[in-house]
Amino acid sequence: MAMKVFIISLSAALMLAACGPTTQVILLPNPDGTVGSLVVYNEKGAQTLDRPWQSTETSTLTQSLSAPKIIEEKQVKAIFQQTLEAEPLPPANFIMYFKMGSADLTVNSMKLFPDILEAVRARKSTNIVVVCGHTDSVGTDEYNRMLSFRRARAVANVLVAKGVDRENIEVTYRGEWDLLIPTPNGVPEPRNRRVEITVQ
């Protein structure tokens, strides 16, 4: 499972209070609230962090790792505000769906463009991946490869028309390979007729 970790050297004033430099490790939750686990170790031992906002620290004087403890989220954000604000935003993912047998987006998918453009703006993104046009399993392999390409290219063209630099867009396509909803061949499945977009 993905996780985010900060290894932070405390401020000079705090170092003096502790009679020596201290390093602190804090395990942060993912944007969706999930958390992985992290083993922090040195020559004196190891500690496992597996809860959000859990922390351990070590001093150059003792080298021992402190027992894990939970730090108040507000306290972490107050102390390390600048570090947290400097952290890049996570990738934003979107799925847009198409009418059967065409590169025309559904009405609801058309409504996603403002959110995609806002994600590009917020990240000052120079790396937008239109990760693949896809089709359902109706039609021949060759037909579906070309249809998936047309779908990915259609979305890319709209983004360019709305101000996104074409050089920042990567277009790929997979035809009916990698179905979102596995179906037998020849089954029309609206959720497989899609383009996946990642804004980094």
User: Average pLDDT in the 96-123 region?
Assistant: 94
- What pLDDT digit, counting tens, does each position of 126-150 carry? 888 775 788 889 999 999 999 999 9
Q: pLDDT at position 11, please?
A: 33
In the predicted structure, residue 16 carries a pLDDT above the cut 70: no
Whether 22 contacts 55, CB under 8 Å: no
What pLDDT, in 10s, does the model give residues 21-80?
A: 678 888 888 777 787 787 887 777 888 888 888 888 887 666 788 898 988 888 887 877
Cβ neighbours around 11 below 10 Å, total? 11
Check pLDDT > 70 for residue 10.
no
DSSP state of 105: B
pLDDT surpassing 70 at residue 111: yes
The Cα-based distances of 94 to 39, 135, 197 in angstroms read 33, 16, 5
Q: Which residue has the tokens 């031992």?
A: 45
Domains of the chain, residue spans:
4-86, 92-199
Q: Any idea which fold 92-199 has?
A: 60s Ribosomal Protein L30; Chain: A; (3.30.1330)
User: Collapsing DSSP states into helix, strand and coil, what is residue 104?
Assistant: coil
